Amino acid sequence: MATTTEKISEQMRLITQQGKMPPWYLKDLYRYLSAFAVLTVIYIGFRIYQGEFAVSTGLDSTDPVFETYWMRLFNFNVTFVTLFAGLSWGYLWFSRDKNLDTLEPKEEIRRYFTLTMWISVYTFAVYWAGSYFAEQDNSWHQVSVRDTPFTANHIIEFYFNFPMYVILGGCAWLYARTRLPLYAKGISLPLTLAVFGPFMILVSVGFNEWGHTFWYREEFFAAPIHWGFVIGVWFAHGVGGILLQGVTRLIELLDELEEAA
């Protein structure tokens, strides 16, 4: 009887312990979930701001209130993403691991999990930029008349959402390059494609807006001046190669781990 009670107590202790702290390979789980929460608040906040002020202040770029409500937001966005890029990329570079040759298999496994979390947060930002706010742009163009490249949706989509996923993709690339031996010895082609390809979407804003100086309307969304964005997003398929690289290495590392219960 006593043995059974002890076993139950031990099980309960283990469960409680597991409930409080994630296992070692998910050490960054709470940071990962926090990143999702922060980004969700930001993006939904943008949408609420648009719902509140776009129709009342965002239809005429010559109106002084447009300057107050939208160009100030544009200036804030550009400043914020510039600072965020410098801080996040700088932190990842200056805190890099300079002793990768002595990395233990367990620690390397944990870092592969963290890399996957970085890429996952990157794809979450890709969702908001490539799905929600991208198609919302079509909706806005069909109820307003474009008189500026800085519309109520472009200011958020082109000058916050696009740079944000570029920054987070860069973070994933830098994390891999500075903390994982295989990515430090060679430059992963699929990771580079998956990060630098969608980066070209940001650059395509220039082509798109140049095209719209000839055709100010959005006659149809599938117009060729939008296809630069399309080609950029194809490179997201590089994630398949990252998955294969990660799985192959994880299998090797798991083989090096001793069996645990």
| Contacts made by residues 50-56, CB under 8 angstroms, sequence distance 24+ | 50/152, 50/153, 50/156, 53/152, 54/140, 54/152, 54/153
Contact assessment for residue 142 and residue 218, using Cβ atoms and an 8 Å cutoff: yes
Structure-block tokens of residue 13 = 């202790």
- Least distance between another protein and beta carbon 234 (Å): 7
Interface size with another protein, residues (CB under 8 A): 77
Q: Which of 87, 91, 81, 83 is nearest to 175 (CA)?
A: 91
Name which of 69 and 140 has its Cβ closer to another protein: 140
- Least distance between another protein and beta carbon 145 (Å): 5
Q: Give residue 80's Cα distance to chain centre.
A: 15
Chain residues 219-258 in contact with another protein, contact rule CB under 8 A:
219-222, 226-227, 229-230, 233-241, 243-245, 247-248, 250-251, 254, 257
105 lies in the site for another protein, by CB under 8 A = no
Q: Which of 184, 176, 181 is nearest to 242 (CA)?
A: 176
Could you give the dihedral angle defined by the CA atoms of residues 163, 164, 165 and 168, in that order, rounded to the nearest 10 degrees?
120
From the list 92, 117, 167, 180, which residue makes contact with another protein (rule: CB under 8 A)?
117
Name which of 81 and 236 has its Cβ closer to another protein: 236
Chain residues 159-198 in contact with another protein, contact rule CB under 8 A:
182-183, 185-190, 192-193, 198
103 lies in the site for another protein, by CB under 8 A = no
- Least distance between another protein and beta carbon 259 (Å): 6
- Least distance between another protein and beta carbon 2 (Å): 27
- Least distance between another protein and beta carbon 71 (Å): 21
Q: Which of 164, 160, 180 is nearest to 124 (CA)?
A: 164
Residues 142-161: x/- map of binding to another protein (CB under 8 A)?
Answer: xxxxx---------------
Measured between alpha carbons, how far is 146 from 218 in angstroms, rounded to an integer? 9
214 lies in the site for another protein, by CB under 8 A = no
